[in-house]
Amino acid sequence: MGDAGVESTVSPPESTTQDSFLSMTDVFLISLITGLFTYWFFFRKKKEEIPDLPKIQTVSSPARDSSFIEKMKKTGRNIVVFYGSQTGTAEEFANRLSKDAHRYGLRGMAADPEEYDLSDLSRLSEIDKSLAVFCMATYGEGDPTDNAQDFYDWLQEADADLSGLRFAVFGLGNKTYEHFNAMGKYVDKRLEELGAQRIFELGLGDDDGNLEEDFITWREQFWPAVCEHFGVEATGEESSIRQYELVVHTDVNMNKVYTGEMGRLKSYENQKPPFDAKNPFLAVVTENRKLNEGGERHLMHLELDISNSKIRYESGDHVAVYPANDTSLVNQFGEILGTDLDTVMSLNNLDEESNKKHPFPCPTSYRTALTYYLDITNPPRTNVLYELAQYATDTGEQEQLRKMASSTAEGKALYLSWVVEARRNILAILQDMPSLRPPIDHLCELLPRLQARYYSIASSSKVHPNSIHICAVTVEYETKTGRLNKGVATNWLKNKVPNENGRNSLVPMYVRKSQFRLPFKPSTPVIMIGPGTGIAPFIGFIQERAWLKEQGKEVGETVLYYGCRREQEDYLYRQELARFKQEGVLTQLNVAFSRDQAEKVYVQHLIKKNKEHIWKLVNDGNAHIYVCGDARNMARDVQNTFYEIVAEYGNMNQTQAVDYVKKLMTKGRYSLDVWS
């Protein structure tokens, strides 16, 4: 009928007036009904979908699908040790404390705050003899570690009642930094403000001194305080408890075996963004050149190709690099321990409820674990020595290991001199103790993870959007035992030759965002201070200022204070800096050559010479100050120089001058990117 009606409307109007009218009505009604039905259908569908949206969002957040309270109840735990860790040390301390608990009839678990909802802390009192311990490292300039950022944000905003919570905090910091142990101090203070009960005083570990000794000293007083609070006693001597069991795979599909990947199996063969710590990008090394013209050191410039990775970076960010241990060192483990390093194995957590199923990606071979996953070059901590002591067949060597692992003054002194100051790594200890031959699987369980190394990016993404540049110096030194120790990452990078034998040299990497940023307005003056490889981020800054100038932007004064040992030896980026100066991008280039004359000259001396100009830029021009490099001496000396300048030209006393500089820091006008 409809079809006939439509056809009839095409007919001459004089012969089909009535039919045409009815057909048009039909069409109109059908169209109207269809339109209303379509509108109703989609409108109804949208209304039905709205309530489902929150469900979709909650399902997509697997990181916090369980409560640590429920997990503790289910597994009979009463002590939870949270860790905020950037390099693995705080996590290691947390694991040690959780293992300690069994000696007192208690059961502990180490927990990553990123995996749980910390608002559940208010419920911890539901568990008898419960306690929350926090091992919190401070990263950068008083910042929380990546995995503790959410916890830090929650603490700042929380108005929870934590009156039933009992807690203790051990902070990990470095006194050479401005904000020493800021995170540990904040957590300790904030928990008390929220009503929680501190059962033992805040511990402050100093990595510039002896962090291990600081931790042991705090720990040996912490547990008696716990015993007194809960009315429990130690059940006996500390004993060795394995956390993982060894499974050797004799018949395994090699496609299921990890070969160095940090997270997903075969992630290096099938790369998928986004790239981060658990999913690094394999960047091709396109350039690796020596920067210095003489001297014993090797300073280098590398360029990593990030094309097609979707990685974005800004000037001032850090690039994290996952290195590999030296093959010759790895082979020596196989020789000393009489082990076939190509044995494929897994270390499986004996605690089936633990989120951490393996200490590193498994299954894998011992060779892969020792090459890519384990730290074999740093001096081992005392708990490793204690666990290994049982395998020394010589009583003298066993006693020495146990003594170094003890909390006695004599033991601490021996550990400091024989291990820390002598820079004995685990291989050196095995070499110097012939009777110590532990099972390689237990050794792999005890050794900490090999960590990524961070470098200030030496390029601007405005100029090099598909490339990240690194400036680094190889670390190499002779120990008190006559051994030659080499830095893992820098020596590994040194050997990354572009297109060697027709093969690409690859570097697993990702970008870590930084607060070290150029001013929002290009017209704002900048004062950059970076001796040695501390010049790295400023190469990126200057490149960006040059690019902005090319775009027709008004660019403010760009002042650089750089320092090196000798002009003809290690003046890094000499030609590039001279070109920037000639083009007018660098308005001032001040270089201190510390060893080219009898009296050493450093960057702070050149700053003093230009103090009047510095004061005008800072006070009148709202200049931003940037300091990059050594935290222990240079950064502190430069800061003291600024105190002097502010006091002199601002007519202030020392306290006022210090306050003035601190306010610059608070406003983001005095930024630090330093290391010790």
User: Would you list which residues are annotated within the binding site for FMN?
Assistant: 85-90, 137-140, 172-181, 207
Distance, in Å, from the CA atom of 575 to the CA atom of 587, rounded to the nearest integer, reads: 16
- Amino acid occupying residue 18: Q
Strand partners, 80: 109, 132
The secondary structure of residue 163, as a DSSP letter, is: T
- Amino acid occupying residue 144: P
Backbone φ and ψ for 11, nearest 5 degrees, come out as -70, 160
Instruction: Mention every residue, 6+ apart, whose C-beta is less than 8 A from residue 358.
Output: 244, 346, 347, 348, 349
Q: Which of 515, 529, 514 is nearest to 628 (CA)?
A: 529
Is 407 one of the annotated active-site residues of the chain? Answer: no
658-to-237, 525, 640 alpha-carbon distances in Å? 51, 22, 9
**What is the pairing mode between strands 364-365 and 344-349?**
antiparallel
Distance, in Å, from the CA atom of 138 to the CA atom of 171, rounded to the nearest integer, reads: 8
Helix/strand/coil for 580: helix
Distance, in Å, from the CA atom of 387 to the CA atom of 96, rounded to the nearest integer, reads: 12
Is 628 one of the annotated active-site residues of the chain? Answer: yes
Backbone φ and ψ for 148, nearest 5 degrees, come out as -105, 5
Strand partners, 624: 526
Total residue count of the chain as it appears in this document: 676
Q: Which tokens belong to 76? A: 């009979």
Q: Where are the alpha helices (DSSP H) in 360-471?
A: 366-368, 382-389, 395-404, 409-415, 426-432, 440-446
Helix/strand/coil for 587: coil
Is 673 one of the annotated active-site residues of the chain? Answer: yes
Helix (H) and strand (E) counts for the chain?
Answer: 22, 23
Strand partners, 281: 509
Work out the angle between the directed axes of helices 89-100 and 211-230 (0-180°, nearest 10): 30
**What is the pairing mode between strands 299-305 and 467-473?**
antiparallel
Catalytically annotated residue among 135, 362, 564, 628: 628
Catalytically annotated residue among 346, 456, 460, 505: 456
Backbone φ and ψ for 15, nearest 5 degrees, come out as -95, -10
Strand partners, 436: 392
Q: Give binding residues for FAD as ranges.
A: 423, 453-456, 471-473, 477, 487-490, 675
Sheet bearing 299-305, strands edge to edge: 453-456, 318-321, 506-512, 281-290, 299-305, 467-473
Contact 649, 631 (CB under 8 A): no
The secondary structure of residue 532, as a DSSP letter, is: G
Distance, in Å, from the CA atom of 614 to the CA atom of 642, rounded to the nearest integer, reads: 9
Is 206 one of the annotated active-site residues of the chain? Answer: no
Instruction: Mention every residue, 6+ apart, whose C-beta is less than 8 A from residue 11.
Output: 20
Rg, C-alpha atoms of the chain? 31
- Amino acid occupying residue 336: I
Q: Which tokens belong to 640? A: 């003291």
Q: What DSSP assignment string belongs to 456-493?
A: EB-S-TTT-TTEEEEEEE--EEE-TTS-EEE-HHHHHH
Distance, in Å, from the CA atom of 183 to the CA atom of 170, rounded to the nearest integer, reads: 10
Burial class of 649 by CB neighbour count within 10 A (0 to 12, 13 to 18, 19+): middle
* Residue that has been written with the tokens 């048009």 in this structure: 24
Q: Which tokens belong to 235? A: 């059940």
Residues forming the active site: 456, 628, 673, 675
